Amino acid sequence: MTKVLRIINRFNLGGPTYNAGYLTKHLSSNFETRLIGGPNEESETDSLFILESIGVEGEIIEEMRRSIHPLNDWRAFLKLRKIIKEYRPDIVHTHASKAGTLGRLAALCTGVKVIVHTYHGHVFHSYFSPIKTFIFKTIERFLAKRSSAIIVISELQKMELCHQFKIVQEKKAHVIPLGFDLSRFSTPNPDLRTAFRAEYSIRQDEILVVIVGRMAPIKNHAMFIRVASHTLQHIGNKLRFMIVGDGETRAEIEELAITNNMTISTPEKLNPQAQIIFTSWILDVERVYSGADISVLTSLNEGTPVSLIESIASGVPVISTEVGGIADFVTDGIHGYLTKVNDDLLFAAKLLELANNQQLRSKLAANGQEKILKIFDYRRLVTDVEKLYTKLLSE
């Protein structure tokens, strides 16, 4: 029996929890997996319900937090090292930055044979100051040299990490896309659409544009507000906007919408006629996509965003900034539309084009859905990772 210790940053809503959960649950009987991670932040919702839904238990290390805190980080490292000594895994597989740093250092200190790290995104631009970014790059290069393998989730991410930022040698980088169970998104449900739109007082003839995800600076919701303001000036009686999620920038984004003369609805103060609806978190997010007509993303930096994958799997066309690995599964003009970061006018023009053309929305949605369901299946993810594990162990 091969023992795998899987460590993720924190149990917050997002792609890493889904993928760590599926890998923990569905690897073959030759593998035994233990899953640990840090807690979600106060501004986030936890993702333990995802693990519970597939029959996986996650262990929480309270000190492993998102922010840098030397004392907490040291305590988390000591706990990880203790767990590794007691569990004696053959493989330590870390997911995302904080887990990747602390987990790989603990594995190196305890002589683990195989050390694997998955980059779900990276922090090498748009997150920190140049000095901090340089420090993180230096740390990641040191750890990459001492890792058995690095998993990247797209060809574009591989190019960035191997050539643009020179974090890892190409021979160590393995492209393994994310994997999900998309069955709950890919089956149309007209009743669910009717019920969701009725819940938020959205008429059937209105075009609902949604953005789904945590509200943080990197997600660039300010661009979403600017684009919404621009398009409302053209077809204001036809469009409604919805922000699904919560986080540290929510108050700022609400204020920005009001400053731009838009009416808003929040969970604390409902307004059935609002142009922009803030819903906070909705866990059964398939309801959102069933009611949406267009899904957008305005991020400054991404890995492979779950919200776009789920949108397209649901048959909802997308418009996104061209960041991270998005262009690996969204070809501009075929599966959706891509723009440069903060190109408000082009983004708004593409949004207006989609809003005014139902046939085009249907065409892009069909093209995207066919591609997504082939690429991002969790069974393919499990097979790919198991093959890599077997190869590394044999070496």
Domain 183-375 grouped into CATH 3.40.50.11540: no
- Say which CATH architecture domain 2-181+377-394 belongs to: 3-Layer(aba) Sandwich (3.40)
| pLDDT for the residue numbered 126 | 57
| pLDDT for the residue numbered 66 | 82
Average pLDDT of the chain, as a whole number: 93
Digit-coded pLDDT (tens) for 25-83:
999 999 999 999 999 887 677 888 889 999 999 999 999 998 888 999 999 999 999 99
Distance of CA 110 to the CA centre of its chain: 31
Q: Domain boundaries in the chain? A: 2-181+377-394, 183-375
First-to-last C-alpha distance (Å) of the chain: 17
Highest mean pLDDT among 13-17, 66-70, 243-247, 322-326: 243-247
| pLDDT for the residue numbered 296 | 98
Q: Report whether 122 contacts 160 (CB < 8 A).
A: yes
| pLDDT for the residue numbered 128 | 66
Whether residue 125 has pLDDT greater than 70 = no
Q: Which range, of 158-162, 314-318, 337-341, 359-363, averages the lowest pLDDT?
A: 158-162
d(CA 4, CA 27): 10
| pLDDT for the residue numbered 150 | 97
Among 160, 36, 53, 147, CA closest to 101: 147
| pLDDT for the residue numbered 13 | 74
Percent of the chain with pLDDT over 70: 98
| CA distances in angstroms from 335 to 326, 331, 356, 372, listed in the order given | 11, 5, 17, 10
d(CA 122, CA 105): 18
Average pLDDT over residues 271-275: 96
| pLDDT for the residue numbered 358 | 96
What's the one-letter identity of residue 150? I
Percent of the chain with pLDDT over 90: 79
Rounded to two decimals, what is the model's pTM? 0.84
Digit-coded pLDDT (tens) for 128-159:
677 888 888 899 999 999 999 999 998 989 99
| pLDDT for the residue numbered 324 | 83
